[in-house]
Amino acid sequence: MGSRSSFLIVANRLPVDRSIGPDGTATWRRSPGGLVTAIAPVMQSRDGAWLGWHGAPGEELEPFHDDGMNLIPIPLSEEEVQLYYEGFSNATLWPLYHDVVAPPVFSREMWETYKAVNLRFAEATAEAAAPGAVVWVQDYQLQLVPQMLRERRPDLRIGFFLHIPFPPVELFWRLPWRTELVKGLLGADLVGFQRPGGASNFIRLCRRLLGLPYKGNEIFHDDRVVTAQSFPISVDFGELDKLARDPQIVHRAKEIRFELGDPEHLLLGVDRLDYTKGIGTRLEAFGELLDERQVEPGEAVFVQIATPSRERVEEYRRLRDDIELQVGRINGMHSMIGHQPIQYLHQAYDRHELAALYLAADIMVVTPLRDGMNLVAKEYVSCHHDLRGALVLSEFAGAADELRQAYLVNPYDVEGVKRQILAAMRATPHEVARRMRAMRRRVSTYDVDRWAGEFLTALES
Point out which residues bind ligand ADP (CB under 6 A). 32-34, 37, 270-272, 305, 307, 348-349, 354, 373-376, 379
Q: Interaction with ligand G6P in 163-192: which residues (CB under 6 A)? A: 163-164
Burial class (CB in 10 A: 0-12, 13-18, 19+), 337: exposed
Contact partner at residue 348 from ligand ADP, ligand G6P, none, CB < 5 to 8 Å by partner kind: ligand ADP
Per-residue contact flags (x/-) with ligand G6P for residues 13 to 52, judged by CB under 6 A: x------------------xxxx-----------------
Q: Do the beta carbons of residue 389 and residue 362 sit within 8 Å?
A: yes
Query: What per-residue string of b and e applies to 3-12 under the rule 16 or more CB within 10 Å gives b?
Result: eebbbbbbbb
- Under rule CB under 6 A, residue 195 binds ligand G6P: no
Which residue number is nearest to ligand G6P in terms of Cβ? 33
Residue 13 binding: pick among ligand G6P, ligand ADP, none (C-beta 5-8 Å cut-off by kind): ligand G6P
- Taking residue 259's Cβ as centre, other Cβ atoms within 10 Å add up to 10
- Footprint (CB under 6 A) of ligand G6P, residues 267-326: 309-310
Say how far apart CA 83 and CA 307 lie, in whole Å. Answer: 23
The residue among 87 and 368 lying less far from ligand ADP, judged by its C-beta, is 368
Least spacing, CB of residue 238 vs ligand G6P, in Å: 22
The DSSP secondary-structure symbol of 166 reads P
Using an 8 Å Cβ cutoff, are 70 and 5 in contact? yes
Backbone angles phi, psi at 430, to 5 degrees: -65, -45
Residue 297, classed as helix, strand or coil, is coil
> Which of ligand ADP, ligand G6P, none sits in contact with 435, Cβ below 5 to 8 A by type?
none
Per-residue mark of binding to ligand G6P, 148-167 (x: CB under 6 A): ---------------xx---
How many residues line the site for ligand G6P (CB under 6 A)? 11
Angle CA 73–78–81, to nearest 5: 70
- Partner in contact with 373, chosen from ligand G6P, ligand ADP, none, beta carbon below 5 to 8 Å by kind: ligand ADP
Name 73's bridge partners: 52
Residue number of the CB closest to ligand ADP reads 34
Closest-CA residue to 104 (of 92, 89, 119): 92
Contact positions vs ligand G6P (CB under 6 A): 12-13, 32-35, 139, 163-164, 309-310
